[in-house]
Amino acid sequence: MTEPAAMHDDGVVVVTHPLVQHKLTLMRERETPTGVFRHLARELSLLLGYEAMRDLPLETVEIDTPLEHMQARRLAGKKLCLISILRAGNGILDGLLDLVPSARVGYVGMYRDPETLEPVEYYLKLPEELDNRVSLVVDPMLATGHSAVAAIDRLKQAGCSNMVFVCLLAAPEGVARLRAAHPDVRIVTCAIDRGLDDHGYIRPGLGDAGDRLFGTR
């Protein structure tokens, strides 16, 4: 019996589609080069995006096809907003923009203090009318959850009220922290790994997503 393409559990969606799991395995491999890693991240973001946008509102409109007049469905309300947690979030952002080119885009600049593992904000640029938009907040890794919680705290202060957090990989610690702080924010990911090491990295993971996306160390 074929398993479902996504597993839903208490506000967390793990996308188990075979293509998603295959591409994630390629990303995990140490020898996967930067260009291939970046391309895979873009492809995975498209596949995650379909699940993350499953509940977007629709409206019925009248259109003319080449053959006849009909009633058809299209997205309703304000344009979707994609919010990247810099810098690594841009590796997912590009693929989602391929899927929804008309989406508005925002950025939250966060870096993790290497000593405390706490997030430090250094940049914020957001679209208008966030209270009337569905927003996908994107970051490849949900590790400790500190950056995700801090970013969503900041977005709620700015008026954002309807969010989905999209990541390639998550750790149980990060999922628990984000769900405890923001139970209204659904999480969509490819996998939940074993846990964190002493440096806050996801194990077995795929390494530092930002470094692998941009070829840095």
Annotated binding site for uracil: 202, 207-209
64 flagged as catalytic: no
User: What is the Cα gyration radius of the chain?
Assistant: 18
Check 2, 10, 116, 198 and give the catalytic one. 116
3-state class of 200 per DSSP? coil
Q: Which helix (H) or strand (E) holds 42?
A: helix 34-52
Going by the annotation, the residues of the binding site are 87, 112, 139-147, 202, 207-209
Residue with tokens 């440096």: 199
116 flagged as catalytic: yes
Check 25, 28, 94, 112 and give the catalytic one. 112
112 flagged as catalytic: yes
208 flagged as catalytic: yes
Q: Which helix (H) or strand (E) holds 72?
A: strand 69-75
Q: What is the DSSP letter of 185?
A: S
State the pairing for strand pair 191-192/169-170: parallel
Check 16, 94, 154, 208 and give the catalytic one. 208
Q: Are the CB atoms for 164 and 135 separated by under 8 Å?
A: yes
Going by the annotation, the residues of the binding site for 5-phospho-alpha-D-ribose 1-diphosphate are 87, 112, 139-147, 208
- Give Cα separations from 98 to 50, 58, 101, 116, 137 (angstroms): 12, 20, 6, 36, 16
Q: Which residues have a catalytic role annotated?
A: 112, 116, 208, 211
